């Protein structure tokens, strides 16, 4: 069904708007990425890994001009709840934040999990915990901007 809708009714811009949560910043990208570690700790998110993606692809022989950083963050308690009750969510874990340059500003983006999280309403505790995590992630992103 989603494939049908995407093909016939949703243009690329609308699809990305639907599937991502994005904030923009006028700050320099270095000023933003320098704050990620500390803000993750402030928001009780574990920073599992980060990638300086423009360097990764350059090392593979595909240099790009745009700076792109990817951060993988997690809250172990919520991850354990999700993986215990809804292991089908595993491909969407951990939460990722992308920070990249676009059109003379910086974009801070993550997957919009709201539609998927709304499917968890039958497990009240899991629904509350995952929605709280998503709100925390959005708060962190808005603090970065």
Looking at the domain assignment, is residue 90 inside a domain?
Answer: yes
Domain that holds residue 126: 21-144
Q: Where do the H-state alpha helices sit in 21-109?
A: 29-33, 36-42, 53-59, 76-85
Whole-prediction pTM: 0.89
Domain count, the chain: 1
Looking at the domain assignment, is residue 123 inside a domain?
Answer: yes
CATH number, domain of 101, equals 3.30.310.70
Looking at the domain assignment, is residue 5 inside a domain?
Answer: no
Looking at the domain assignment, is residue 8 inside a domain?
Answer: no
The Cα–Cα gap between 36 and 23 comes to 15
Tens digit of pLDDT for each residue in 24-47? 999 999 999 999 999 999 999 999
In the predicted structure, residue 71 carries a pLDDT above the cut 90:
yes
Sequential DSSP letters for 88-120 = GGGGG-SEEEEEEEETTEEEEEEE--HHHHGGG
Looking at the domain assignment, is residue 2 inside a domain?
Answer: no
Looking at the domain assignment, is residue 135 inside a domain?
Answer: yes
């Amino acid at each position: 069904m989603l494939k049908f809708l995407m093909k016939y009714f949703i243009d690329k811009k609308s699809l990305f708007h639907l599937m991502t949560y994005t904030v923009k910043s006028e700050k320099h990208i270095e000023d933003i990425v320098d704050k990620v570690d500390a803000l993750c700790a402030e928001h009780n998110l574990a920073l599992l890994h980060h990638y300086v993606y423009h360097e990764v692809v350059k090392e593979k022989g595909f240099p790009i001009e745009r700076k792109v950083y990817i951060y993988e963050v997690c809250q172990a308690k919520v991850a354990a709840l999700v993986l215990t009750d809804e292991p089908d969510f595993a491909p969407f874990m951990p939460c990722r934040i992308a920070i990249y340059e676009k059109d003379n500003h910086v974009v801070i983006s993550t997957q919009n999990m709201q539609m998927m999280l709304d499917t968890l309403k039958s497990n009240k505790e899991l629904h509350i915990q995952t929605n709280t995590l998503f709100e925390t992630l959005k708060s962190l992103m808005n603090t970065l901007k």
